[in-house]
Structure 1
Amino acid sequence: MNNKQSIIDQGELKLFRALWDHSEDNLFVVRKTQDGDFITERTNPSLVNLFNFSEKQDTGCSLKKLMPPDAYNAIVARYNECLDKNIPIDYEESHIIDSTGIPQFWLTKIIPVIDSDTREERIFGISRDVTKLKRIEQQLVTYNEKLEQQIEQRTRELTTALQEMEKISKYDKLTKVFNRYKLDEELENQLELARRYGNSFGLILMDIDNFKEINDSNGHHIGDRALIEFANILKTSIRKTDIVGRWGGDEFLLIIPNSTPEAMMTLAQALKKELASKQSNDFARLASSIGVTLFKKHDTVHSIIVRADKAMYSAKKQGKNSIISIY
């Protein structure tokens, strides 16, 4: 070996020694014995300080004496795999090393070192403490779980809010039947179906007779109860395919798909009879002036409503509690 090569080798050795002595990573060399055990050959200061090794432990000590059986068996299995395959292996490990009972974590790389002459087998290991990163990772997992729970809760709340908003946009708050906006939408739908497929549909427009007297004599809270009762009677007296809503004030509109003049009149009479049969302690029997009409070929929402309205007011002028149809 020439002087130049010797100087290079000495420089590399000093560099390795400096890294070995001052590295914050844990560096170690273990040798495999003939009976399959592993003993410590070299342990850098970082690892000695971490586990508080004595001089007997950091050099020439069996790993079986240093570790609990489960940990020892797991480590030996990795070391043997590394030597058998003659390839480096990376893995994460955790151990409880103090009285707190809290595990610490390391990322470890082990490298096989097999002497070509003696066939002695060694493991060179580098282990980096990643406990802080692991704690952060665990905190992030916990945070994400909480965040997902909050998002799920918020989504449920928003879904509920949207459902409530949809109800508000469709339903009359007091009577829980469709409101004027939704009735207009349904009228447009029925007109479109009638024009496209030649279907017919009918309208029944009705109000509560003498509603002002109920309010004036008993108060608005009783008037509200009369409106609720009136709406409930209508809801329970029609088919599932029929549509009922509060047109405004004490007026209610029924949209009856696929109907005929005879069917419309039969329904109007049934509603009149049902109203007359209901008793209330708060107000006299409910009665209604009822206007009935059917879709005509060139109808618009405005024209068919005007006709139903005209029929209802004709019923009112006739003496109330009556039915007038205009086709």
Structure 2
Amino acid sequence: MPSRLADGSPAERRSITLPLQSAGLLSALIFLINAIFEVLVINHLYGSQYVLIALLLAVLSLWAFLEVALIGRRAVVPPLRLLKLLLASQIVLSLVRHAGDFSSRSAALSSAALPVQSPQFGLAIVFLPIDVLLFLAISRCLIDAFADAERRRAKQLQRQMAILQQTKAELQASERRYRLIADNVDDVIWTLDSQGLFTFISPSLKSLLGYGAEQWIGKPLNSLLTPASASSLQGALAQWLQQRQPVDPLLPSYRAELEHLHRDGSRLWTEITMTPLREKDGPLMGFVGVTRDIRVRKLYERNLSEARDAAEEANSALLSANALLHGRATTDGLTGLLNRRHFEDILRAQMKTSLEHGKSLSLLVIDVDHFKEINDGLGHTLGDKILIEVSHLLAASLRESDRVARWGGDEFIMVMPRVQPDEALQVANRLCASVSSHPFPGGWVVTLSIGVAELRAHESLEQWFDRADAALYAVKNAGRNAARLST
């Protein structure tokens, strides 16, 4: 059976030791009283003395037995089993010794002055050695019980010492490991007290800032920073110092890029990570932090930013060039309207859509009347200005879905999706009126001749255009400044 004493606390060991000591004292006292009793028996014991001694022996024997019996409820000590047996034997021996004569001797209490007759002398001679042997056996059991308890206590102490030695070795190994890390890592590891003063700095401060770590112990972290970075850090530190008794037991970490002052006067960027230290539900104890050199990262970031700016600038220039090229490829250089090549693509796409969906599609072929006379009379420069003015008037008349282009020279072309030929003719007449009434440079009156044609099923672009062009020439033959619908 395992002993509950083996891992007992000091209080449990005291609860065993004290009853054992009491049982030992009681056993010694019982032996002494028994010896005195036997001596008194030989020398004529009085009845009153006999009764009192017998009662005292019974009480002390029972007391000693109970002291030892109660130990078994708190711990298991093998010698206690024999000890309880011996103490029980002592009680039985006392009963055997005194039970026979107790009734007759108790009557002597009524006449205590008269001595009673001495019991047989031989009984005293027999019981006195028995008492000695019993006392020696009880003493031996007590010694064994004490020795057993001490052995267990010694084993407990040995185990505790072994655990302490192992813990000490682990702590020493951990300290050496972390010391090795702190001494050789490139990052600077440091701790601050609650006032923001250094309590530890790793030696890597020398390679980072050129300073020895020892000279900064007891000084503030701000003294190693530029004024702007020191102000930023001071704000965060002040916030933590105001939270010495925070409601939230978890304080946030502080991470920032700060600029440090090197011993040679130069400046370098570092990243600082600082975490507050505090006891559970207690005040702020200090901070632990790491300072990391980020000069290479800053250089990469700057190069990346410059490369990004250059790429964005090049992309913007490319987009501008593409837009310019697209404009040149799709628009007329003089009027800004769509050019002939691009407009042909639009026409073919509009024709396909119109035929697939059965929608009307009207075409207007527009020509500036007597434009050769305008160029010859006013010059090409003024003629170009007139063409530009005409293109503006045409563009101003467009719906969102309509398209107009310069077809070549003084000829323009307009396509109007989902417009019936009669409606397209009305638009053409309004254009003729708008242009003829417009004041052009040089006071020249400009008129238009317009041919209108609606796309027919199974008709090609050339056929469609020829019908509109025929209507245009019919207008010119009839006197110009008008519009006509193709038949």
Q: Same fold (TM over 0.5)?
A: yes
**Counterpart in the other structure of 2:77:** none
Cα RMSD, aligned residues only: 4.1
Matched position secondary structure for 1:247: strand
**Counterpart in the other structure of 1:68:** 220
**Counterpart in the other structure of 1:96:** 261
**Counterpart in the other structure of 1:234:** 394
Cα distance, 1:101 vs. partner? 4.9
Distance 1:130 1:27 in 2: 5
Task: Find 1:158's aligned residue among 318, 322, 331.
Answer: 318
Distance 1:26 1:281 in 2: 80
Distance 1:141 1:39 in 2: 34
Q: Deviations over 1:127-147 (max 9, x none)?
A: 9x986xx43332221111111
Task: Find 1:51's aligned residue among 202, 208, 211.
Answer: 211
Relative to structure 1, the CA distance from residue 106 to residue 50 in structure 2 (aligned partners, 3 Å threshold; closer, same or farther) is farther
Give yes or no for contact 1:201–1:259 (8 Å, CA) kept in 2. yes
Task: Find 1:302's aligned residue among 462, 472, 475.
Answer: 462
Matched position secondary structure for 1:51: coil
- Stretches of structure 2 that go unaligned for 5 or more consecutive residues are 1-179, 191-196, 225-233, 238-256, 273-289
Give yes or no for contact 1:97–1:104 (8 Å, CA) kept in 2. no
Distance 2:409 2:305 in 1: 51
Cα distance, 1:24 vs. partner? 9.0
- The one-letter code matched in structure 2 to 1:318 is A
Q: Where in structure 2 are the equivalents of 1:117-266 lying within 5 Å?
A: 134-266=294-426
Cα distance, 1:52 vs. partner? 5.4
Relative to structure 1, the CA distance from residue 96 to residue 180 in structure 2 (aligned partners, 3 Å threshold; closer, same or farther) is same
Distance 2:408 2:385 in 1: 16
**Counterpart in the other structure of 2:104:** none
**Counterpart in the other structure of 1:324:** 484
**Counterpart in the other structure of 1:124:** none
Relative to structure 1, the CA distance from residue 162 to residue 27 in structure 2 (aligned partners, 3 Å threshold; closer, same or farther) is closer
Distance 1:183 1:27 in 2: 68
Give yes or no for contact 1:209–1:321 (8 Å, CA) kept in 2. yes
Task: Compare the two structures and name the one with the higher helix fraction.
Answer: 2
Distance 2:258 2:390 in 1: 74
Relative to structure 1, the CA distance from residue 307 to residue 100 in structure 2 (aligned partners, 3 Å threshold; closer, same or farther) is same
Give yes or no for contact 2:259–2:267 (8 Å, CA) kept in 1. no
Cα distance, 1:218 vs. partner? 1.3
Give yes or no for contact 1:96–1:104 (8 Å, CA) kept in 2. no
- The one-letter code matched in structure 2 to 1:180 is R
Give yes or no for contact 1:187–1:255 (8 Å, CA) kept in 2. yes
Matched position secondary structure for 2:451: strand
Matched position secondary structure for 1:160: helix
Cα distance, 1:238 vs. partner? 3.0
TM-score by length of 2: 0.45
Q: Where in structure 2 are the equivalents of 1:76-95 lying within 5 Å?
A: none
- The one-letter code matched in structure 1 to 2:344 is D
Relative to structure 1, the CA distance from residue 138 to residue 289 in structure 2 (aligned partners, 3 Å threshold; closer, same or farther) is same
Distance 1:259 1:196 in 2: 16
Give yes or no for contact 2:385–2:441 (8 Å, CA) kept in 1. no
Pairs aligned (count): 258
TM-score by length of 1: 0.65
Distance 1:94 1:303 in 2: 78
Cα distance, 1:97 vs. partner? 4.2
Task: Find 1:273's aligned residue among 419, 422, 433.
Answer: 433
Give yes or no for contact 1:308–1:326 (8 Å, CA) kept in 2. yes
- Stretches of structure 1 that go unaligned for 5 or more consecutive residues are 1-19, 31-36, 75-91, 108-126
Rg: which structure is higher? 2
Identity percentage of aligned residues: 25
- The one-letter code matched in structure 1 to 2:329 is S
Relative to structure 1, the CA distance from residue 130 to residue 282 in structure 2 (aligned partners, 3 Å threshold; closer, same or farther) is same
Cα distance, 1:96 vs. partner? 3.0
Cα distance, 1:209 vs. partner? 0.7
Which structure has the higher relative contact order (CA within 8 Å, separation 6+)?
A: 1
**Counterpart in the other structure of 1:5:** none
**Counterpart in the other structure of 2:450:** 290
Cα distance, 1:175 vs. partner? 0.9
